[in-house]
Structure 1
Amino acid sequence: MTSIGSDDRGWLRAMPAEAGRDALLSRAGHRVLAARRLTDLVQGRPPGVTGSQWTSASRASFDFVVHAADTGHPVVAVQIGPVPSPGSAEQRVERLTDAVSAAAGLPVLRIGSPTLSATEHGRRLVEYVIDARAYAAGGATAAGTEPAPVGFRDILGRLPDGRTGPVNDLGALTRAAAVEAYVAGQVADPIVRGLHVRWVDGPAQGWSWVQVRPDACLIEQVSVTEHRFSCGIDAARLAEDLAAVAVGERLRENAVADLLPRAEWTAQIAALSQRRHELVGGFGFDHLCAD
């Protein structure tokens, strides 16, 4: 089996040339393959990984793997779906997979959400990550005397509703949909709100919500876990934007039965603010703690 380029990164396996022809997409110097097993990416058991760990983790797979088109090297493996329950077999496999990936030097991006899925949202998310990473790399190579470029997330342009705003806001379509739902009398408030945090010893988390009734909210939470990878956008901010995407899915499907009382949600935000010492950069949403 021939590969594109040689793998000088130790335990990582380069993308086979024949696999590149079956790529889900090619974009900005990258090729993306879907449904790749860990054993497709790691050649042999890395040092520090026991036989039992390797056996368990080798059965795992990732939804997508982004490869460099020129060398075939894996750039990042992406997984999208619900966060495993604490203490579950799924959580154990995820931790083992992350441990083996770390030993092999494989970057991993995990998106945890009960609403977002690889099938429905994966391609768009991977395209977004590739574009954001390429934009950040271009900014990093600019001359040091030039002013810092606008971040990828903050580039202004024409939004779906005709206004000017950040065109790379993943939640832009949701914000437009919320206004339409408000006009149609389906929600009590057209504003899509959000907050985000990053735990010192854990993932980034983002929440987004809309008031369906004056006393009840539709809320979505998304976690973003980055291992040896960054697309150039703050992970917590990305989590909040993805939570807004999930809210949009719920609105489009009219799946608004599972609501949380507004007072209870405000109390949860206040409780989160009390844990600011556990957060990177503290808690910047105190204005949301009062109803």
Structure 2
Amino acid sequence: MGQTTSTGSDASSWLRPLSAARGPLVERGDRVVHTARRLGELMSGRPPGVTGHQWNTASRATVDFVVCDGGTRRPVFAVEFTTSAGTPEDHRGIRMRDAVYAAVGLEVLRIRSATLLPDPHGRRVVEYLIDARGYTAGLSEWSDPVDAVTERPVGFRDIVGRLPDGRSGQVNDLGAIARVGAVEAYVARQLVDPIVRGLHVRWQDGPAEGWAWVEVRPGRCLVERVLLEEHRFACGVDATRLAGDLAVAAIGERLRRFDAGEPDLVARGDLGRDFERLRARRDEMAHGFEFDHLTFD
């Protein structure tokens, strides 16, 4: 392992403005979004507390999305997509990147999913995070009402509006389009049940986890799981609900691929056994387990 650099007084000062030469992917409010940037581009050299070995490995890694302040162009947060499982080498690379992120205090959200990818899903997720964080920051400035008529605004996830199918519902549910797609697939006789079911939990000192499933054939289900790892990061919405919504969105992506061939399905009994193993770990969950009512008979 190499030697560490000297300690700096302001870790975030190591974050540098991103060059506009390649241009941002999108500008949204007071944020600009860059895609596929090398981690080393985000910083002015090796930050304090990072070994030479960590830096040499991590600095060459690609960061899927970097969200910058529109004025200073300095990174505010980053979003990574990765598969739920990985090789030992993948895990070592993640640990080294996390060491670098921590050294400069950069906020990072890592999304683990077998289905959701930077392209085509990443942009929508990043825009959602920008909007949710901005909305929630505005709520923090809201003072208590001075009369019984004035009410505090609802949270970002609970805003009601017009859904894609014309009904009224929570428009900031990232799984809403997938739920409509499941109904359409049921009408087209591609599913035996139109309802996408799910659950979400928060592990103590760990990620938020969301599951979603829909019955495609009698006793056989399409299943998706998503993990959200927040490193100094605030989603602007409850991360457990967001993990659940993203799992539903992943179901929607799988439904759109039906024409490509028969999907990999999970026996309902196997899903039930996975559920029982999850429920048995309730003591490891930060906010308990709220899904005892679910059955897989």
Secondary structure of the residue aligned to 1:223 is strand
User: Which segment drifts farther, 233-242 or 137-146?
Assistant: 137-146
Question: Structure 1 counterpart of 2:106, which letter?
Answer: L
Is this contact kept in 2: 1:84–1:91, CA < 8 A? no
Tell me how far 1:252 sits from its aligned partner. Answer: 1.0
| TM-score of the aligned structures, taking structure 2 as reference length | 0.90
Shift of the 168–81 alpha-carbon distance from structure 1 to 2, 3 Å rule, reads same
Tell me which residue corresponds to 2:225: 221
**Are the equivalent residues in 2 in contact too, given 1:136–1:231 (CA < 8 A)?**
no
Q: Does 1:63 align with 2:69?
A: no
Residue 189 of structure 1 pairs with residue 190 of structure 2: no
CA distance in 2, matches of 1:240, 1:36: 28
Q: Which runs of 5+ in 2 are unaligned?
A: 1-9
* CA shift for structure 1 position 289: 4.2
Deviation for aligned residue 1:143: 1.8
Preserved CA contact (<8 Å) 2:11 2:104? no
Kindly indicate whether residue 199 of structure 2 is the aligned counterpart of residue 198 of structure 1: no
1:150 aligns with 2:154: yes
Q: Identify the residue that residue 42 of structure 2 maps to in structure 1.
A: 41
Matching of residue 259 in structure 1 with residue 260 in structure 2: no
CA distance in 2, matches of 1:263, 1:8: 50
Structure 2 counterpart SS, 1:9: helix
- 1:231 shift after superposition: 2.3
What's the % identity of the aligned pairs?
A: 56
Partners of 2:65 and 2:80 within 8 A in 1: yes
SS at match of 1:32: strand
Cα deviation for residue 149 of structure 1 reads 1.9
Distance of aligned partners of 1:256 and 1:196 in 2 relative to their CA distance in 1, 3 Å threshold? farther
Decide which moves more: 216-225 or 139-148: 139-148
- Residue identity opposite 2:65 in structure 1: F
Partner letter of residue 91 of structure 1?
H
Structure 1: which 5+ residue stretches go unaligned?
Answer: 1-6
Q: Which residue of 1 aligns with 2:123?
A: 123
Matching of residue 268 in structure 1 with residue 269 in structure 2: no
Shift of residue 114, structure 1, vs aligned partner = 1.0
Q: Which residue of 1 aligns with 2:213?
A: 209
Residue 173 of structure 1 aligns to a residue whose secondary structure is: helix
Deviations 1:52-74 (A, max 9, x none): 11111111121110001012221
Q: Which whole-Å CA distance do the structure 2 matches of 1:83 and 1:103 have between them?
A: 25
Report the equivalent of 1:15: 18
Inter-partner Cα distance in structure 2 for 1:148 and 1:274: 38
Matches of 1:9 and 1:183 in 2, distance apart?
53
TM-score, length basis structure 1: 0.92
1:284 is matched with 290
Q: How big is each residue's C-alpha offset from its partner over 1:66-92, in whole Å with a ceiling of 9 and x where there is no partner?
A: 00101222111111131342x610110
8 Å contact kept, 2:209–2:227:
yes
Equivalent pair of 1:84/1:90 in contact (CA under 8 Å)? no
The C-alpha deviation readout for 1:180-234, integer Å capped at 9, x for no partner, is 1111111010001110111113211101110112211100111111111112111
Matched pairs, number: 282
Kept after mapping to 1: 8 A contact 2:209/2:240: yes
Name the SS of the counterpart of 2:71 in structure 1: coil
Give the letter for the 1:284 counterpart.
E
Partner of 2:4: none
Relative to structure 2, which stretch is displaced further, 278-287 or 73-82? 73-82
Q: Take 2:98 and 2:152, find their aligned partners in 1: how far apart are those partners?
A: 34
**In 2, Cα distance between equivalents of 1:83 and 1:36:** 22
Evaluate the alpha carbon distance shift between residue 8 and residue 71 of structure 1 in structure 2; reply closer, same or farther with a 3 A threshold. Answer: farther
The answer (yes or no) to whether the contact 1:112–1:222 under 8 Å persists in 2 is yes
Q: Alpha-carbon deviation of 1:14? A: 2.1
Task: Check whether the contact 1:250–1:256 (CA below 8 A) recurs between aligned residues.
Answer: no
User: Aligned to 1:226, what secondary structure does the other structure show?
Assistant: strand
